[in-house]
Structure 1
Amino acid sequence: MPLYYDDVVWAYGSSEGLLVYPVSGQEYCALDIALGNSQLVPFTTKGRIIRRVRLNHGVLVFEWAEQEAFHQLNEGEGVHRHFASAFDVWTDKGEYDTLPDLAASKPGDAAEGERSKPQRWHFALRAEWKIHYLGLPLATSDRFYSAHNGTHYALYVWQPNRSPWGEDSPLERLTVWDIGNPRRAGSCVPVAPVEPDMIRSITNEHLAPSGLRQSDTPSLRSLALDSETRDPHTGQSTGHLFFLTEEHRWAAGFQSGLPPPRFHSVRTTGIPLQGDGPVWVNECSGNTANPACRGDAFAVEEEHAWPGWAPCWRHEDFPYLTVAQVVDRAAGVRFSARQCFTMDVVSVNRGPEQGTASSVSRADAREGTKGADDDGALQREVRFSDGTWGRIMAKGQIAGDERWLIGETSGRVLTVLYF
Structure 2
Amino acid sequence: MPHRKIQSANLKPRYSKGKISVFGINSVYPRTPWIAAWWSAAFPGFGHMFIGKYLHGFVLIFWELVVNSQSNLNTGIALSFLGRFEEAKAQIDQDWGLLYVAVYVYSIWDSYRCAVEIKKSHVLAEAEDAPVPPSDVSFFDVVILDKKIPWAGAVWSMLTPGLGQLYSGSTIVGTFVLAWWIFICYKAEAVRVYLYSLQGNFAGAAAIVDWQWFLFLPSMYAFAVYHAYTSVNENNTLFDIEQIRYLRMRAANLGQQHTHENNAVQIVATFEHSPFVEMAIHDLEKLGVPSRQIVALPMENLDSHTHIVDSIHRVDGRSILDGAMMGGTIFAVLGVIYGFVWHWGPVIWGLLGLGGGFLLGLLIELAVNKKKLKLFPTRKSEVMVEVTCDASQQKQLIQVLKSRKANGFVIMPR
TM range (shorter): under 0.3
Q: Higher relative contact order at CA 8 Å, sep ≥6: structure 1 or structure 2?
A: 2
Q: What's the TM-score once normalised by structure 1's chain length?
A: 0.22
Q: Tell me which protein shows more strand as a share of its residues.
A: 1
Q: TM-score, normalised by structure 2?
A: 0.22
- Specify the structure having the higher radius of gyration (Cα): 2
